[in-house]
A and B are shown apart, each in its own frame.
Chain A
Amino acid sequence: AQSVTQPDIHITVSEGASLELRCNYSYGATPYLFWYVQSPGQGLQLLLKYFSGDTLVQGIKGFEAEFKRSQSSFNLRKPSVHWSDAAEYFCAVGASYGQNFVFGPGTRLSVLP
């Protein structure tokens, strides 16, 4: 079974600063990886996804993530954070078979003006 860890529970950055949110997964086969964002009182919205091919994936809202198989990581990055990026971010891994999507515990992002 797959698992996901997000080492940082809460991160605070200043507006305009760069951002990196960490995600590590455990899965024996080729993983399918996702980043979702959840604003307060809202559902989860897909930011980006990785299935295969280019390991640097571009998403919405200026986010990107890089898949590193050797490190079992799929870290999310943004070069310049906006105040509207304050939210909860979830990394998820989907199995090659079946429908078991496993979500990490989430990282809450706060943005200082």
Chain B
Amino acid sequence: DAGVIQSPRHEVTEMGQEVTLRCKPISGHDYLFWYRQTMMRGLELLIYFNNNVPIDDSGMPEDRFSAKMPNASFSTLKIQPSEPRDSAVYFCASRDGTSGSFVGRGGELFFGEGSRLTVL
């Protein structure tokens, strides 16, 4: 399996521009997560989906952030307009919630390599 695939790996943009980050989860995984990593706040869960449906978006910082999952193999995280404080590494992760060794509640999280966003 190719693992979780994220693009772009690096994005540099100017304040006010729209940013779209993309994620392809592992095939067959029914949960998809978006995390943000910063030095100050560590790893923060932004939102997660189950079977393409957003379940918990309480971690999304504000209305400038939105996430979609139009199908089982693709998700986007959009920031519009972007601000310098959005600079961070954004990770996508997926897991199989229906099987695996997680005592019948699915397996562990598999992470992509992240998208490093710099907003000038």
Residues of B within 8 A of A94 (CB): 102
Does A67 reach chain B (CB closer than 8 Å)?
no
Residues of B within 8 A of A44 (CB): 91, 93, 109, 111
**Within the assembled complex, what's the spacing in Å between the Cα atoms of A99 and B105?**
10
Does A12 reach chain B (CB closer than 8 Å)?
no
Number of A-B residue pairs, CB cutoff 8 Å, is: 50
Interface SS, B side: strand
Are B45 and A101 within 8 A (Cβ)?
A: yes
Q: Which residues of A contact B (CB under 8 A)?
A: 32, 34, 36, 41-46, 49, 51-52, 90, 92, 94, 96, 99-101, 103-106
Q: Could you list 13 further interchain pairs (A-B, Cβ under 8 angstroms) beyond the known A99-B33, A101-B33?
A: A32-B103, A36-B111, A41-B113, A43-B113, A43-B114, A44-B93, A51-B103, A90-B43, A96-B105, A100-B56, A101-B109, A103-B42, A103-B43
Q: Which residues of B contact A (CB under 8 A)?
A: 4, 31, 33, 42-43, 45, 48, 50, 55-56, 91, 93, 97, 101-103, 105, 108-114
